[in-house]
């Protein structure tokens, strides 16, 4: 039954993707909004449909205040699975996603992301990271938020991993607040390397924005850690466990993993994947 339900859901996903391509082409043709915000918004809405016709998922979204999105944010979330993407797309505003270049190379899906104005990052080319931040800053200047999965890759055990610096450096340089998102339950919704959707209670909360006013590049680590602890604490509260139980850095220190995984992280933008 699970296999049949998953197959039907994937069929619906394929149909949505195929319908989305001509739809976005038409919308983009007439879209004169800054940063092609209307095209991107149509793409997010259609992407969020995946969460509506998937019977295995129960999703709760909280903390949404559309009025607060009158100016752009650097939006930062933890990352548990590819299911995060349609779940976050349920939020009622447009934002451009920083995503790994390999996704843009995919037929149809990559074309959709390009039409929507999302931003590719080449993980094999360190020079691309600077251009990513420049493109992201341009989107912010045009009044559109930018979305990062701050861990860079999906968590393998649901605990929040170390955050990279790129999103926080961007927020300080652009002079915009950071908007944290806390996600939980998506790892079970769509396991990595699996195709069958599992029953899952998924939660997404928009946390209070964090101001970057008066901050400089020297404040990047403190800003990063503050936002990360907000997300860790929120996930832990959902699970009714101590914050340390939701924190991958605490676990890595306890198991003696090296500093590359448990301490300072490189300054680089992040991406779904």
Q: Mean of the per-residue pLDDT values for the chain?
A: 89
Confidence of residue 163 (pLDDT cuts 50, 70, 90): very high
**pTM for the predicted model, two decimal places:** 0.89
- The candidate with the shortest Cα–Cα distance to 212, out of 72, 102, 94, is 72
pLDDT digits (tens, 9 = 90+) for 83-110: 999 999 999 999 999 999 999 999 999 9
Domains of the chain (ranges; CATH) run 2-262 (3.40.1130)
Does residue 268 surpass a pLDDT of 50?
A: no
CB atoms within 10 A of CB 98: 26
- Specify the pLDDT at position 87: 96
């Amino acid at each position: 039954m699970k296999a049949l339900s998953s197959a039907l859901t994937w069929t619906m996903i394929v149909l949505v993707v195929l319908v989305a391509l001509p739809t976005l082409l038409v919308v983009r043709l007439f879209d004169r909004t800054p940063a092609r915000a209307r095209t991107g918004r149509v793409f997010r809405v259609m992407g969020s449909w995946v969460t509506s016709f998937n019977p295995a998922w129960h999703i709760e979204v909280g903390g949404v205040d559309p009025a607060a999105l009158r100016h752009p944010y650097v939006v930062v979330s933890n990352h548990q699975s590819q299911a995060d993407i349609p779940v976050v797309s349920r939020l009622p505003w447009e934002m451009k996603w920083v995503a790994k270049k390999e996704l843009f190379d995919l037929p149809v899906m990559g074309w959709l992301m390009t039409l929507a104005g999302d931003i590719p990052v080449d993980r094999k080319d360190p020079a691309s990271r600077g251009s990513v931040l420049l493109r992201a800053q341009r989107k912010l200047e045009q009044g559109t938020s930018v979305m990062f999965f701050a861990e860079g890759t999906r968590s393998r055990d649901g605990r929040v991993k170390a955050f990279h610096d790129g999103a926080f450096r961007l927020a300080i340089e652009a002079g915009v607040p950071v908007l944290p998102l806390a996600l939980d339950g998506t790892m079970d919704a769509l396991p990595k390397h699996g195709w069958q959707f599992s029953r899952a209670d998924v939660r997404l909360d928009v946390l209070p924005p964090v101001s970057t006013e008066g901050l400089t590049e020297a404040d990047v680590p403190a800003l990063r850690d503050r936002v990360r602890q907000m997300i860790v604490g929120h996930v832990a509260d959902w699970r009714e466990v101590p914050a340390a139980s939701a924190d991958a850095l605490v676990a890595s220190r306890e198991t003696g993993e090296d500093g590359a995984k448990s301490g300072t992280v490189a300054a680089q933008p992040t991406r779904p994947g």
